[in-house]
Structure 1
Amino acid sequence: MSPTLKAVLSVAAAAALVSISVGSRALASGGGGGGGGFEAPSASAPQYDPAAEYAKAVAALNAKQYRDAARAAQHVTDAVPKSPDAWRLLGAAKAGDNDWKGSRRAYERAVKLAPDAAVAHAGLGLALANLKDPKAQAEIDWLKAKAQACGDSCPDAASLKGMVSALEAAQQGARPSAALSGSMLFGGPKAGDAAYVQAVSLINEGRYDDALASLAKAQAAFGPHPDILTYEGYAWRKKGELDKAERYYRAALAIAPDHVGATEYYGELKVVRGDLDGARKLLARLDQVCAFGCADAEELRRWIALGHEPPR
């Protein structure tokens, strides 16, 4: 794999994702020998995959069509049950439909999967408050502690304070405020593409923690998209977190078994771990997918021949 991933940016007036108009596109090299590229998530998601259902749910949520949003979000949680963003989206849709028990269950799953996600705690707190459950106070206390640790100068300071105020009002029987409702709406394709492009740039610079933060924003917009999952796996591998990297590669391939980038990267991870037989199996898969050859397969072949990452 090359020491940097090359990002090639192009602009399109509109790209269709399940009839949703989107803005910019981003293409990022699949790494390795500079072969196949990933399109921006809004442009490349298959029509009926979890990312497309996620986008459909976001559009319905923002249009206040809450039952349609919940139906599409449920498709995502069924397909990718370990995606905290999917459960958060389902929780927001259920809340919009005043199904507070359903919202609570969804947000409980989101919090379990991503225990440090403030928006998930806020959503759970809102559901509990509307159910008159005293456990809502624990979520308020969690958000207050998060806000205190964050301080006034951190980027999330205003959002955290708004969540606390909104939950305290909900405890008193008030309708959810604009601050809380706004924090739970999802950014949509334009914001997601921008975050994705930024993440690729940050990966190029070796800023893997910042890249992971940007990829998380992209994932909040698009849901479990294989391109995003693949880059998350790559960033974790560069940080030395090989088990986490493998989980992301496997998640990407579960959604898109023929994903060239995820297959190559996963093969390279196998080489790093000394599992050359496993790497060869993935190379054989790449050779099938790339019927006329591709740079990704050739790069993985180099790794296997050397038994380690090629020198640069």
Structure 2
Amino acid sequence: MRYLSVGAAIGLTLLSLSTSLSGQRRDDQVDARSVALFEKGKAARAAGNLAAATDLIETALVVDPRNRAAYLTLAEIARAQNLPGKAIRLYREALTVEPNDVAALQGQGEAMVQKGAVERARENLARIQKLCPKTCAEGTQLAAVIAKGPPIVSAAAQVAKQDAQEKGNN
């Protein structure tokens, strides 16, 4: 009699555990709607419409935040628009989904160099070298970007950029 209540509790626990696990997707399985929106966004990017591409790919991420390829593509768009800070954040999101993504580490490192954070880019290069025991293309490309250094911006260009930002804020 006293084992009946314990057995019933264990049985209900196992039943609820098994039903909750059967309804979940695998971690590496991305929602098909997100993939479809991402493909439309890639097509818009190829057509040169970066605003539409950004909107579609961001919508794909809302549908499924595990779409690592969407983060990478958005980061590439941000770098093309000369927004290295935004690109670094997007690459970090991709690395949250897959910490050993060599392409994300390379892209983030290049964006860091673009922003002037060369030491942090070297940390990414060290991580790539640990992940690729032999020489890999991503590590070689990042090493070349680090060796080249951050872009040189003249004082006149910085003043013009600040003026444009102030006008945008007003």
**TM-score, normalised to structure 2's length?**
0.63
Conserved 8 A contact 1:208-1:238: no
Shift of 1:253: 1.4
Indicate how the Cα distance of structure 1 residues 205 and 294 shifts in structure 2: closer, same or farther if over 3 A, else same.
farther
Q: Could you list the per-position Cα deviations for residues 152-199 of structure 1 after superposition, in whole angstroms to 9, with x for gaps in the alignment?
A: xxxxxxxxxxxxxxxxxxxxxxxxxxxxxxxxxxxx40x322222232
Q: Does 1:47 align with 2:22?
A: no
Backbone CA RMSD of aligned residues: 2.8
* Higher share in helix: 2
Residue in 1 aligned with 2:145? 303
Cα pair 1:267 1:283 within 8 Å, conserved? yes
Task: Say whether 1:221 aligns with 2:50.
Answer: no
> Is the alpha carbon distance of 1:241 and 1:307 closer, same or farther for their aligned partners in structure 2, counting shifts above 3 Å?
same
Provide structure 1 residue ranges, at least 5 long, that are not aligned to the other structure. 1-18, 21-45, 56-187
For residues 279 and 220 of structure 1, do their structure 2 counterparts lie closer, same or farther at Cα, with a shift above 3 Å needed? same
Residues 158-307 of structure 1 aligned to structure 2 (within 5 Å): 188-189=31-32, 191-307=33-149
| Larger RCO, structures 1/2 (Cα 8 Å, 6+ apart) | 1
Change (3 A) 1:260 1:277: same
State how many pairs are aligned.
130
CA distance in 2, matches of 1:218, 1:289: 29
Distance in 2 (CA, whole Å) between partners of 1:205 and 1:299 is 27
How far residue 303 of structure 1 moved from its aligned partner, in angstroms, is: 0.8
Whose strand fraction is larger, Structure 1's or Structure 2's? 1
Matching residue's letter, 2:139? A
Match of 2:8 in 1: none
**Quick one: structure 1 residues 297 and 203, their matched pair in 2 at CA, closer, same or farther if it must change by over 3 Å?**
farther
Tell me, which stretches of 5 or more residues in structure 2 are unaligned?
1-21, 152-170
Q: CA deviation at 1:272?
A: 0.4
Percent identity between matched residues is 26
> Which residue in the other structure is 2:4 paired with?
none
TM, length-normalised to structure 1: 0.37
Q: Larger C-alpha radius of gyration, 1 or 2?
A: 2
Aligned to 2:121, the other structure's residue is in SS state: helix
Residues in 2 aligned to 1:217 and 1:198: alpha-carbon distance in whole angstroms: 11
> Is the Cα–Cα contact under 8 Å of residues 199 and 212 in structure 1 kept in the other structure?
yes
Quick one: distance in 2 between partners of 1:288 and 1:205? 37
The code of the aligned residue for 2:148 comes to: L
1:33 alignment partner in structure 2: none
3-state DSSP class of the match of 1:291? Answer: coil
